[in-house]
Amino acid sequence: MKRVGCFTIRLLLSTTFTRSVGLAVVFPRFLSSPRRIGFFCHDESIRFPKVADTISDGMVALVALVLPLALIALTEVVRTGRAVPSGLSWRGAGVPLWLVRVYRHTGVFILGAGLAEITVDVAKNYVGRLRPNFLAACNPVTPGDRPGDTSSYTKLCAAATPGNPVYVPPEAYYCLGDPADEREARASFPSGHSVLAFYAAVYLGLFVQARLQRLSGTLALLRPVVQWLFLLAAWWIALSRIVDHVHHPGDVLAGALIGTVFAALHVFLVSGLFDREQAPAD
């Protein structure tokens, strides 16, 4: 009974904490906005056009969330066996060991992804770096100009030359573009897609390395193939953000580094994947 009680308490606490992290991921996007900064005239790095995303948000979610969670769950079911009991019960019914481990490892994965996204949102709002397509999304005009005045950018940068760039402070202009587009155009650093993609790829690569060590023969090739496929997908997602003029190369590199660090920290310090086999309820 003591073990059942402890398991119930831990289940409630972990569920509550994970939901709190999920809310913390959503709320910053509504409660705060990216820092408003100015720009330099003739800055070629923010003059790219807006184009459609090569990889949709739904595809990113599939590759970086749905597939890793499904693979983690499938691995634990196959590795543990559906009939193995955990010695725990929930409302009078026995809890199988595979379910305990699926809950544990998917929970750690989701927790790490949520904390990484919070870190990204804080950085985006604090830095406020302009995206490569900022001018196209913003359509900057001077205060007092009439909507549709196409000479506004020319007025802002009338004194600028390639050898004498002029800085336009944030109070000297406003955006005629859609407010939502303007907000996104000020959130270039770091790349959230790269963070999530590399977090999933590195976490899953380490998970597979730890949980599929018993594979032998031809099946042993499954481990490096899965690791390579998810790293390739992460690399593809990251590069697409540069091609689509949504992020600067430095944003993507920083995002990949953040995702990798969060994955490594949660695998080695939280998940216990490389520890010795623990008790079923752990």
81: left (phi over 0), alpha (psi -120 to 50) or beta: left
Active site residue 266: no
CA-based nearest residue to 21, from 93, 96, 117, 101 = 117
- Active-site residue, from 193, 245, 248, 266: 193
Question: 97-127 and 2-26 helices cross at what angle (nearest 10)?
Answer: 30
CA distance 228 to 226: 5
Q: Which residue has the tokens 């499938």?
A: 74
- Active-site residue, from 105, 245, 247, 248: 247
Active site residue 247: yes
User: Which spans in 90-219 are helix H?
Assistant: 97-127, 134-138, 152-156, 179-185, 192-211
CA distance 209 to 251: 29
CA distance 267 to 236: 23
Residue 274 DSSP symbol: T
Answer whether 210's CB lies under 8 Å from 276's CB: no
Q: Give catalytic residue positions.
A: 193, 247
